[in-house]
Amino acid sequence: MIETPYLLFLGDAHDQLAAKVAQGIKDWRPEFALGQLRLPGCKADMRLPDMTLAEAREAGAKTLVIGVANRGGVISETWKAELHTALEQGFDLASGLHNLLRDEADLVETARRHGRKLHDVRIPSVKYPIANGVRRTGKRCLAVGTDCSVGKMYTALAMDREMRERGLKSTFRATGQTGILITGDGVPLDAVIADFMAGSIEYLTPDNDPDHWDLIEGQGSLFHLSYSGVTLALIHGGQPDALILCHEPTREHMRGLPGFALPTLEELRVAALSMAQIANPACQVVGISINTQHLSDEDALDYVAGVEKSMGLPTVDPFRHGAGRLVDALSAI
Amino acid sequence: MIETPYLLFLGDAHDQLAAKVAQGIKDWRPEFALGQLRLPGCKADMRLPDMTLAEAREAGAKTLVIGVANRGGVISETWKAELHTALEQGFDLASGLHNLLRDEADLVETARRHGRKLHDVRIPSVKYPIANGVRRTGKRCLAVGTDCSVGKMYTALAMDREMRERGLKSTFRATGQTGILITGDGVPLDAVIADFMAGSIEYLTPDNDPDHWDLIEGQGSLFHLSYSGVTLALIHGGQPDALILCHEPTREHMRGLPGFALPTLEELRVAALSMAQIANPACQVVGISINTQHLSDEDALDYVAGVEKSMGLPTVDPFRHGAGRLVDALSAI
């Protein structure tokens, strides 16, 4: 569990996209994002107050989150002075980079000396159990995609926000590095040992109030050869009551797999529902989330309306049009 | 790669079943099994020559394989003297126990001093790639089960033996600890990091002659909530041309999951084939393997004949009736 609120470290980000972790935190947990810390040459701006480390500590920040990725996912030497000073001033550090904080001997030493924590969310910090399949109380919703990176995380976050605004009980359950940094907790599923994947999701989504919904962040796709096993472990560990189908209509082939076409939404519905019903025979597909970022306003509305008609399910782009109708669909079951 | 041939260490096995790794090697790779080494009180017997370490070295043995598991999967202190002597006399050691050889400081030191290797097949020794989905030359067959532990490994080994006897080109590809110890090589899939599961199977089954068959050892089941992700990674990493369905007809519920019924063979056919055809649209289900060990001779024949009729596929217990008809079915595609 990473202590909040955060100061977001944007480093020397070469463009706005390089700071997408910071952007995710600012978009989805603005109450965690007290300010930003930028080094000379930084091209990203979250439109948050620029703060020094001392100002952020004064304002209550507990953790300096590395909200930027440079090429190769390494911890840049040009960042080091600020990172050391942060530890000295009482910040913990959190990072989702491939290059682990704990592999930097100098940071480890400074953290030790000042009694601070280094959170590497890329790798598990928990010894997860093997899944036992026992039904838990409370309800769970999982976003599944025709491909990787089609908007599953944003769909779950948008539904979570909508549910909170309505006063409903919900928790976004992060299963990837960005999601974990956004919320401060979760399972880095792609780094879990095979035998414990489904168990890690049972661990992540324990017994809860009967009217509470876990909104589980999806990973990969049943149709993506590289990561499908991760997706199935999510489905069987999560035992979802509801599935949301996610799709990005301009994708020409499966991400990173030229020659492999995307499935249709109908193919995804059949495959995901049949797999989910092994774990939970009552599972239903309740809605569809379309990532329309590459479509014009008019094309987006047309596309969404066409899918809604052909699939017979509430269909929206939750980022563009709001997640209200998906939450309505959840609330109906 | 573990050097062969082996001397099989049976230790102080409390019964024959405790030495099932040694039994597997003796059954499936008798040419690797030069002899057995038993300590006082050993209740297992592979009907192999009892040899001292010196006699086995003289006969050409390269590796002492721990062919026995005691409770908890630990390396017993009572074995230690023989293990040290083996290293001193020029043996490598190989083990599939949870308690790793490399975690025993005294064995590590003796191995280092004598330039010998410690093979812990429970954990990967290779940094596997992420799967890229590129089709490989040669053919691949995968056994998939209605449940875990229904005979998938024995099915693949029996088919491999039959193909070799016919002079066909085949390789058994081990994906579990026992299989790796039997053949000396493979991928311990259940211990691979999630993101690399499918890639490890691509690595295991590379390009080969067009008429060569990899017979891939199955793991888990698409219907077993604890391990289904591992199974799907095998299906998508292996890109099989042929599937064999495996079933054990007396199982009352999914192994370790009371309350979860086994699927029917027809449900398995639909689920496994639809998933396999994502990777390889030409994939076919070619036969069925029934584990009849808990049935009488007459009941076994009746059951197998009934399945053959209802499923319309060659159906055998390869251990009891031979794998010839499954190999015929493979050869026909």
Rounded Cα–Cα distance for residues A97 and A177 (Å)? 9
User: Which string of b and e fits B293-326 if b means at least 16 CB within 10 Å?
Assistant: eebeeeebeebbeebbeebebbbbbbbbbebbbb
Q: What is the side-by-side strand order in the sheet with A6-11?
A: A33-38, A6-11, A63-66, A92-95, A118-120
Q: Is B123 on the interface with A (CB under 8 A)?
A: no
**Segment B100-120 mean pLDDT:** 97
- Nearest Cα of chain A lies from the Cα of B256 at a distance, in angstroms, of 8
Instruction: Show the CA angle centred on residue A104, arms to residues A101 and A108, nearest 5°.
Output: 80
Rounded Cα–Cα distance for residues A86 and A64 (Å)? 7
pLDDT of residue B142: 98
- Given a contact cutoff of 8 angstroms between Cβ atoms, the answer to whether A201 and A210 are in contact is no
- Given a contact cutoff of 8 angstroms between Cβ atoms, the answer to whether A57 and A3 are in contact is no
Q: Is A6 on the interface with B (CB under 8 A)?
A: no
Q: Is A128 on the interface with B (CB under 8 A)?
A: no
Q: Is B187 on the interface with A (CB under 8 A)?
A: no
Q: Which residues of chain A lie closer than 8 angstroms to B130, CB-CB?
A: 226
Q: State pTM to two decimals.
A: 0.94
ipTM metric: 0.93
pLDDT of residue A296: 97
Band (pLDDT 50/70/90 cuts) for residue B69 is confident
> Which helix (DSSP H) or strand (DSSP E) does residue B5 occupy?
none
Helices B324-331, B152-165: axis angle to 10 degrees equals: 70
Is the omega angle on the peptide bond into residue A5 within 30 degrees of 0, that is, cis? yes
* pLDDT of residue B72 exceeding 80: no
Digit-by-digit pLDDT tens for chain A (333 residues) are: 899 999 999 999 999 989 999 999 999 999 999 999 999 999 999 999 999 999 999 999 999 999 998 777 889 999 999 999 999 999 999 999 989 999 999 999 999 999 999 999 999 989 999 999 999 999 999 999 999 999 999 999 999 999 999 999 999 999 999 999 999 999 999 999 999 999 999 999 999 999 999 999 999 999 999 999 999 999 999 999 999 999 999 999 999 999 999 999 999 999 999 999 999 999 999 999 999 999 999 999 999 999 999 999 999 999 999 999 999 999 998
Q: Is A274 on the interface with B (CB under 8 A)?
A: yes
- Nearest Cα of chain A lies from the Cα of B62 at a distance, in angstroms, of 31
Rounded Cα–Cα distance for residues A317 and A299 (Å)? 12
User: Where are any strands of DSSP class E within B158-236?
Assistant: 169-173, 212-216
- Nearest Cα of chain A lies from the Cα of B275 at a distance, in angstroms, of 8
Rounded Cα–Cα distance for residues A48 and A134 (Å)? 44
pLDDT of residue A281: 97
* pLDDT of residue B71 exceeding 80: no
**Segment B62-89 mean pLDDT:** 93
- Listed residue (A140, A255, A237) closest to A189, CA to CA: A237
- From the number of C-beta atoms within 10 Å of its C-beta (0-12, 13-18, 19+), residue B236 rates as buried
**Segment B206-233 mean pLDDT:** 98
Of B131, B191, B228, the CB nearest to A233: B228
B191–A226 C-beta distance less than 8 A: no
Put simply, the chain A residues between 279 and 318 with a CB less than 8 A from any chain B CB are: 279
pLDDT of residue A73: 82
Q: Is A123 on the interface with B (CB under 8 A)?
A: no
Of A197, A257, A260, the CB nearest to B229: A197
Q: Is B108 on the interface with A (CB under 8 A)?
A: no
Of A132, A225, A271, the CB nearest to B274: A271
What single letter denotes the amino acid at residue A176? G
pLDDT of residue B147: 97
**Segment B107-131 mean pLDDT:** 96
Which of A175, A230, A278, A283 is the best residue to mutate to test the B interface, defined by the most B CB atoms within 10 Å of its own CB?
Answer: A278
* pLDDT of residue B24 exceeding 80: yes
Of A229, A257, A260, the CB nearest to B229: A229
Q: Is B194 on the interface with A (CB under 8 A)?
A: yes
Cα-based distances in Å from B228 to A229, A237, B198:
7, 10, 13
Of A197, A223, A260, the CB nearest to B194: A197
* pLDDT of residue B23 exceeding 80: yes
Rounded Cα–Cα distance for residues A206 and B244 (Å)? 37
Rounded Cα–Cα distance for residues A304 and A288 (Å)? 9
A278–B223 C-beta distance less than 8 A: yes
- Nearest Cα of chain B lies from the Cα of A59 at a distance, in angstroms, of 39
Cα-based distances in Å from B87 to B13, B221, B325:
21, 39, 44
Band (pLDDT 50/70/90 cuts) for residue B254 is very high
Cα A177 → chain centroid? 7
Q: Is B260 on the interface with A (CB under 8 A)?
A: yes
Query: What 3 state SS string does chain A have?
Result: CCCCCEEEEEECCCCCHHHHHHHHHHHHCHHHEEEEEECCCCCCCCCCCECCHHHHHHHCCCEEEECCCCHHHCCCHHHHHHHHHHHHCCCEEEECCCCCHHHCHHHHHHHHHHCCCEEECCCCCCCCCCCCCCCCCCEEEEEEECCCCCCHHHHHHHHHHHHHHCCCEEEEECCCHHHHHHHCCCCCHHHCEHHHHHHHHHHHCCCCCCCEEEEECCCCCCCCCCCHHHHHHHHHHHCCCEEEEEECCCCCCCCCCCCCCCCCHHHHHHHHHHHHHHHCCCCEEEEEEECCCCCCHHHHHHHHHHHHHHHCCCEECHHHHCCHHHHHHHHCC
pLDDT of residue B183: 93
- Residue A118 has a CB neighbour count (10 Å cut-off) of 20
pLDDT of residue A106: 97
Return the C-alpha torsion angle B29, B33, B34, B40, nearest 10.
-160
Of A229, A234, A279, the CB nearest to B233: A229
A-B CB pairs within 8 A amount to 128
- Nearest Cα of chain A lies from the Cα of B98 at a distance, in angstroms, of 13
pLDDT of residue B9: 98
The residue that leads in pLDDT, B72 or A264, is A264
* pLDDT of residue B70 exceeding 90: no
- Given a contact cutoff of 8 angstroms between Cβ atoms, the answer to whether A136 and A205 are in contact is yes
